[in-house]
């Protein structure tokens, strides 16, 4: 294999975002006619790596060589000209244009005039090669996700790409569609294309890949042929940070069961989810992105209610049809997306903290009691050590960690019994992370039942008294703290056979 | 009988669906025909050559502005300054012709279009390169161009007698006359403009790319389309067409004040939207815009002759038409998408997507992603 000239070589590439070292000295070589899988936990650096390859990000250091020539594409169009194209879980198509135009629109070499007949013919030929029965004249708006991906592969073929990057392409496909996609990928490989395949599903990786690279925490861990690895060895390499680096867990007093969830189901989203949380307990929700954890959180907060199943609060069955129901019963949910859903960025710290509890500050004629608002906001800000020039400062000017604390303050102000924290430390720096971890611990000690949803496995393991693992909408295991090793949790999360 | 059974069992590929744009255009032709029939029952002597001539001459300005608007709407932008550009172009061209009596029609048209193009390029730079939303930019230039015109005019009007005679005669120049139906020069010019634009949008690579940009800007960027340059030129084109409309306005009215053409921007949006041009970008044709302008003009000119309908209701009707157009566009798109999806699924002969697939689609935005 080594005497073949590589198509693409990434050498010692590093990339940093703020406090996060997303890629640290990573090297990767792609040969013609191979399917190369890249695996790793969420945040291992897979996305950053492919974004550098496709010119969306520039690397801080390191080099990228395409067929012997050093390059640094500045955007995806330039990467395409070098023969590097990417397709994602949600294909990027032009819904109003015909299938044929979707395949050929970006091409530089077809002259000023559109030759419709020739274009339809060429498109039909490529689609037939891919065993896709799609009329190239049809607008792309009606295509299934699988067929949209077929169109993207057709585009790659027509571009004569040398490297095709596929980022989680199977996430939205049925088993039958996955089989066909794999056939198409193999035929691409056999024609000499190098395919970089990213998937969370290890069974797919083993079925398809020739070589497998493991990334962890932005670092390259190993690259081996598929014969040299086992699922166990892969998982061992994917995990590996020590949870105690994060947070020194110590026993907390636990009280009565506060929340009991029985066979909660939302059709097509999650199924038969049962668990319980007690006063003072931290229950971790582990799993891969897309496993349905956030959906369970949203169901409990009444945003998208479950279809069936029961929820008991302090032993009393409750209905959760809206966030208002949930808040009245004492369930609060801290969204993973604080910029979009959690905070009103242009408004002040005070306004954000009192947003969910405005009726408390409203007099009978509908006027707000501003001093009372400021007082409560002030004491919460102090309690949570929110660093801000003043309480009137717009939240947009705060750092990520302090925004997160502001959001936490908003929900604490509702005096919750159950607090659901969705990715509470995403995108905040290490120091602030530790702060948030200690806050969560203190809140649990004050008797609140806490659910922490986190894709950061060491973090969940460090914080939680028990860990619940979800995969594809179902609970795949609940581990007590002393049984919850990274290997066990990861195995349940990726579902190896 | 057996034939039809056969076609039902094995429909040919092209029969299974029709391009959304064609459906919209045919619907409009149907609506125009139906409303003409209704009016001919309500109004005596409605179907006369004179009325045809009136509609074809008066539709010209709105139609060309609808074309200008379509060019921009396709790219998911909007040009609200076309009414002001009409005013500026009409006034300045009138001024120019008053001072330069030697200039002929061709030069006058070029001057008007150049003025429009310059103003349009101002919009284009701000939208395409400055990344300011088009609705803000053109709302600003709507006022800005008008104010500059008022300052320049200083209360003076362009009067008909300052213009060369050929300007005002232009509107009555008939190229051919068939029975009582005159085909006027201005109408034929408009038709020519539409033929060229329809061809350009369907056959020029850059024309198709305008659709691509409006259909999915993110994907257009990824595909490496020169989106900034194309959006810029769409605004320049829109401005130039508005300049042409300004010249026609001058030829039709003769007396131009600083408020000339005010309000035409709304009619241009109305005509384009009623004509099936999507305000969400990516879809719509020049033929559709022309049909939309024709429908609006026909209704306006016909309703004047129905005594039971007050002027108040005629304005309301324009508003209702816009809403109906947008609504139709929206529902058509949604239903068409669904039907095509269903067709594609049976084509593939595949199993329905598993719960995972369904979850991905249903849980968009609420999944862990």
> For residues A457 and A451, is the Cβ–Cβ distance under 8 A?
no
**B320 to chain A, minimum CA–CA distance in Å?**
26
Cβ–Cβ gap A94/B362 under 8 Å:
no
**A8-17 vs A61-66, strand pairing mode:** antiparallel
Beta strands (DSSP E) in A415-473 are 418-422, 449-453, 466-471
Cβ–Cβ gap A142/B283 under 8 Å:
no
Residue B192 above 90 pLDDT?
yes
> For residues B159 and B102, is the Cβ–Cβ distance under 8 A?
no
**A118 to chain B, minimum CA–CA distance in Å?**
13
Query: How confident is the model at residue B117, as a pLDDT?
Result: 98
Residues B153-179 pLDDT 10s: 998 999 989 999 999 888 888 888 887
What average pLDDT does the structure give for chain A? 87
Residues A341-372 pLDDT 10s: 778 888 899 999 988 888 888 888 888 888 88
Mean pLDDT value of segment B91-98? 95
Cβ–Cβ gap B216/A177 under 8 Å:
no
**CA-wise closest residue to B71 among B109, B117, B32, B115:** B117
Cβ–Cβ gap A290/B369 under 8 Å:
yes
Question: In this complex, which of A95, A133, A268 lies closest to B347 when CB atoms are compared?
Answer: A133
B356: confidence class by pLDDT, cuts 50, 70, 90: very low
The percent of chain A in helix, strand and coil, each rounded to the nearest 5, is 35, 25, 35
**A308-313 vs A316-318, strand pairing mode:** antiparallel
Residues B250-309 pLDDT 10s: 999 889 999 999 989 989 999 999 998 988 889 899 999 999 999 989 988 888 888 887
Mean pLDDT value of segment A17-22? 76
Highest mean pLDDT among A175-179, A244-248, A430-434, B139-143: B139-143
Question: What is the spatial distance between Cα A238 and Cα A492, in angstroms, rounded to a whole number?
Answer: 14
Q: Which chain A residues are closer than 8 Å to B339 by Cβ?
A: 142
Please give the backbone phi and psi of residue B176, each rounded to the nearest 5 degrees, phi first. -135, 155
Question: What is the spatial distance between Cα A417 and Cα A425, in angstroms, rounded to a whole number?
Answer: 21
Cβ–Cβ gap A94/B216 under 8 Å:
yes
Domains assigned to chain A: 8-238 (3.40.50.300), 243-494 (3.40.50.300)
Higher-confidence residue of B75 and B219: namely: B75
Query: How confident is the model at residue A19, as a pLDDT?
Result: 67
Question: What is the spatial distance between Cα A64 and Cα A52, in angstroms, rounded to a whole number?
Answer: 9
A56 shares contact with chain B (CB less than 8 Å): no
What interhelical angle do A116-129 and A145-158 show, nearest 10?
110
Question: What is the spatial distance between Cα A114 and Cα A101, in angstroms, rounded to a whole number?
Answer: 10
Residue-by-residue DSSP string for B61-74: HHHHHHHHHHHHHT
Q: Can you tell me whether residue B206 is helix, strand or coil?
A: helix
A96 shares contact with chain B (CB less than 8 Å): yes
Query: How confident is the model at residue A77, as a pLDDT?
Result: 83
Residues A254-281 pLDDT 10s: 889 999 999 999 988 899 999 999 999 9
Query: If residue B75 lies in a helix (H) or strand (E), which one and from where to where?
Result: none
Fold of B19-336: ABC transporter involved in vitamin B12 uptake, BtuC (1.10.3470)
**B44 to chain A, minimum CA–CA distance in Å?**
44
Percent of chain A with pLDDT over 90: 39
Residue A22 above 70 pLDDT?
yes
Cβ–Cβ gap B17/A138 under 8 Å:
yes
Mean pLDDT value of segment A192-218? 90
Q: Spell A295-315 as b/e; 16+ CB within 10 A means b.
A: bbbbbbbbbebbeebebebee
Query: How confident is the model at residue B340, as a pLDDT?
Result: 52
> For residues A417 and A448, is the Cβ–Cβ distance under 8 A?
yes
Query: How confident is the model at residue A106, as a pLDDT?
Result: 76
Residue B62 above 80 pLDDT?
yes
Find, in chain B, the residue whose alpha carbon is nearest to that of A177.
B350
Residue A194 above 70 pLDDT?
yes
Query: How confident is the model at residue A399, as a pLDDT?
Result: 78
Percent of chain B with pLDDT over 70: 85
Question: In this complex, which of B218, B333, B362 lies closest to A268 when CB atoms are compared?
Answer: B362
Question: What is the spatial distance between Cα B3 and Cα A402, in angstroms, rounded to a whole number?
Answer: 73
Neighbours of A228 (CB within 10 A): 11
Question: In this complex, which of B203, B339, B360 lies closest to A113 when CB atoms are compared?
Answer: B203
Residues A39-77 pLDDT 10s: 987 778 888 899 999 988 899 999 999 998 999 998 888
- Cα–chain center distance at A301: 21
Choosing among A56, A90, A139, which should be mutated to test the B contact, i.e. which has the most B CBs within 10 A? A139
Choosing among A55, A118, A268, A468, which should be mutated to test the B contact, i.e. which has the most B CBs within 10 A? A268
Find, in chain A, the residue whose alpha carbon is nearest to that of B340.
A142
**Choice among A227-231, B6-10, B93-97 with the minimum mean pLDDT:** B6-10
Q: Which chain B residues are closer than 8 Å to A113 by Cβ?
A: 203-205
Percent of chain A with pLDDT over 70: 95
Q: Which chain A residues are closer than 8 Å to B354 by Cβ?
A: 174-175
Question: In this complex, which of B17, B212, B336 lies closest to A94 when CB atoms are compared?
Answer: B212
Annotated domain spans of chain B: 19-336
Cβ–Cβ gap B368/A144 under 8 Å:
no
Cβ–Cβ gap A291/B221 under 8 Å:
no
Residue B59 above 90 pLDDT?
yes
Query: How confident is the model at residue B191, as a pLDDT?
Result: 95
Mean pLDDT value of segment B69-75? 97
Q: Which chain B residues are closer than 8 Å to A173 by Cβ?
A: 353, 356-357
**B369 to chain A, minimum CA–CA distance in Å?**
6
A144 shares contact with chain B (CB less than 8 Å): yes
Question: In this complex, which of A95, A132, A473 lies closest to B355 when CB atoms are compared?
Answer: A473
Mean pLDDT value of segment B116-136? 97
Question: In this complex, which of B209, B225, B368 lies closest to A294 when CB atoms are compared?
Answer: B368
A177 shares contact with chain B (CB less than 8 Å): yes
Q: Which chain B residues are closer than 8 Å to A470 by Cβ?
A: none
Cβ–Cβ gap B222/A77 under 8 Å:
yes
Choosing among A76, A86, A105, A161, which should be mutated to test the B contact, i.e. which has the most B CBs within 10 A? A105
Residue B362 above 50 pLDDT?
no
Q: Can you tell me whether residue B297 is helix, strand or coil?
A: helix
B215 vs A102, A140, A159, B69, B285, CA distance in Å?
11, 11, 21, 16, 14
Residue B128 above 90 pLDDT?
yes
Residue B16 above 80 pLDDT?
no
Query: How confident is the model at residue B353, as a pLDDT?
Result: 34
Higher-confidence residue of B246 and B341: namely: B246
B350: confidence class by pLDDT, cuts 50, 70, 90: very low
Question: In this complex, which of B214, B224, B333 lies closest to A76 when CB atoms are compared?
Answer: B224
**B219 to chain A, minimum CA–CA distance in Å?**
5
Question: In this complex, which of B206, B337, B355 lies closest to A141 when CB atoms are compared?
Answer: B337
Cβ–Cβ gap B225/A105 under 8 Å:
yes
> For residues B284 and B199, is the Cβ–Cβ distance under 8 A?
no
Query: How confident is the model at residue A141, as a pLDDT?
Result: 82
A323 shares contact with chain B (CB less than 8 Å): no
Mean pLDDT value of segment B14-34? 79
**A196 to chain B, minimum CA–CA distance in Å?**
18
Residues A277-314 pLDDT 10s: 999 999 999 988 778 899 999 999 998 899 999 999 99
Q: What is the pTM of this model?
A: 0.76
A112: confidence class by pLDDT, cuts 50, 70, 90: confident
């Amino acid at each position: 294999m080594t005497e073949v000239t590589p198509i693409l070589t990434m050498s010692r590439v590093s990339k940093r975002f703020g406090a996060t070292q997303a890629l640290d000295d990573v090297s990767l070589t792609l040969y013609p006619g191979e399917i190369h899988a890249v695996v790793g936990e969420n945040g291992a650096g897979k996305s950053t790596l492919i974004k550098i390859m496709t010119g969306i990000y520039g690397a801080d250091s390191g080099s990228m060589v395409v067929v012997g020539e050093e390059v640094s594409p500045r955007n995806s169009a330039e990467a395409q000209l070098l023969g590097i194209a990417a397709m994602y879980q949600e294909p990027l198509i032009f819904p109003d244009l015909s299938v044929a135009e979707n395949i050929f629109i970006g091409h530089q070499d077809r002259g000023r005039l559109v030759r419709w007949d020739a274009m339809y013919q060429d498109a039909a030929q490529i689609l037939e090669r891919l065993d896709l029965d799609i009329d190239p004249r049809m607008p792309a708006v009606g295509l299934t996700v699988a067929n949209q991906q077929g169109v993207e592969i057709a585009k790659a073929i027509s571009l004569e790409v040398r490297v095709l990057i596929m980022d989680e392409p199977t996430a939205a496909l049925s088993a039958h569609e996955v089989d066909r996609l794999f056939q198409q990928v193999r035929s691409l490989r056999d024609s000499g294309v190098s395919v970089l395949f990213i998937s969370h599903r290890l069974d797919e990786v083993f079925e398809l890949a020739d070589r497998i690279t493991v990334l962890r925490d932005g670092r390259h861990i190993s690259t081996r042929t598929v014969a040299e690895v086992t699922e166990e060895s892969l998982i061992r390499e994917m995990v590996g940070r020590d949870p105690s680096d994060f947070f020194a867990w110590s026993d907390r007093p636990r009280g009565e069961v506060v929340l009991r969830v029985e066979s909660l189901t939302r059709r097509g989203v999650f199924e038969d989810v049962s668990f319980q949380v007690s006063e003072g307990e931290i229950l971790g929700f582990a799993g891969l992105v897309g496993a349905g954890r956030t959906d369970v959180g949203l169901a409990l907060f009444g945003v998208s209610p479950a279809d069936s199943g029961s929820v008991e609060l302090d032993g009393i069955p409750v209905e959760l049809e809206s966030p208002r129901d949930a808040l009245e019963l004492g369930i609060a949910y801290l969204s993973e997306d604080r910029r979009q859903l959690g905070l009103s960025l242009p408004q002040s710290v005070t306004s954000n903290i009192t947003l969910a509890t405005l009726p408390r500050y409203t007099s009978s004629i509908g006027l707000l009691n501003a001093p009372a608002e400021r007082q409560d906001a002030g004491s919460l800000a102090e309690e949570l050590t929110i660093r801000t020039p003043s309480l009137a400062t717009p939240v947009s000017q705060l750092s990520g960690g302090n925004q997160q604390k502001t959001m936490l303050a908003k929900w604490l102000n509702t005096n919750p019994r159950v607090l659901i924290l969705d990715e509470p430390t995403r995108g905040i720096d290490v120091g602030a992370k530790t702060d948030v971890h200690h806050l969560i611990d203190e809140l649990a000690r004050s008797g609140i039942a806490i659910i922490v949803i986190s894709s950061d496995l060491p973090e969940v393991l460090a914080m939680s008294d028990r860990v619940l693992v979800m995969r594809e909408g179902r609970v795949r295991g609940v581990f007590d703290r002393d049984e919850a090793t990274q290997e066990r949790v990861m195995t349940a999360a990726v579902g190896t056979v | 009988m057996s034939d039809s059974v056969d076609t039902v069992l094995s429909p040919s590929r092209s029969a299974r669906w029709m391009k959304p744009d064609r459906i919209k255009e045919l619907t409009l032709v149907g609506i125009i025909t139906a409303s003409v029939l209704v009016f001919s029952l309500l109004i005596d002597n409605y179907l006369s050559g004179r009325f045809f001539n009136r509609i074809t001459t008066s539709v010209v300005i709105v139609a060309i502005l609808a074309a200008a608007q379509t060019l921009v709407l396709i790219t998911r932008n909007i040009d609200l300054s076309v009414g002001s550009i009409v005013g500026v172009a009409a006034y300045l061209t009138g001024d120019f012709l008053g001072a330069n009596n030697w200039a002929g029609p061709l030069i006058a048209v070029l001057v008007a279009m150049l003025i429009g193009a310059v103003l349009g390029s101002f919009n284009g730079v701000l939208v395409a390169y400055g990344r300011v939303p088009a609705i803000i930019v053109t709302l600003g230039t709507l006022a800005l161009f008008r104010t500059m015109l008022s300052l320049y005019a200083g209360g003076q009007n362009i009067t008909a007698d300052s213009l060369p005679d050929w300007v005002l005669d232009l509107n009555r120049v008939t190229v051919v006359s068939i029975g009582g139906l005159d085909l006027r020069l201005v109408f034929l010019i408009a038709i020519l403009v539409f033929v060229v634009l329809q061809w350009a949008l369907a056959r020029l690579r850059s024309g198709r790319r305008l659709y691509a940009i409006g259909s999915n800007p993110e994907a257009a960027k990824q595909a490496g389309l020169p989106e900034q340059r194309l959006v810029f030129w769409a605004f320049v084109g829109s401005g130039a067409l508005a300049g042409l409309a300004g010249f026609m306005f001058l030829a039709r009215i003769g007396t131009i004040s600083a408020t000339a053409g005010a309000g035409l921007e709304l009619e241009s949006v109305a005509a384009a939207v009623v004509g099936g041009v999507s305000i969400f970008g990516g879809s719509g044709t020049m033929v559709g815009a022309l049909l939309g302008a024709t429908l609006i003009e026909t209704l306006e000119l016909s309703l004047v002759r129905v005594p039971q309908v007050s002027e108040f209701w005629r304005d309301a009707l324009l508003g209702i038409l816009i809403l109906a157009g947008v609504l139709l566009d929206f529902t058509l798109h949604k239903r068409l998408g669904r039907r095509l999806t269903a067709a594609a699924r049976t084509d593939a002969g595949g199993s329905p997507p598993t719960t995972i697939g369904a979850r991905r689609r249903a849980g968009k935005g609420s999944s862990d992603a």
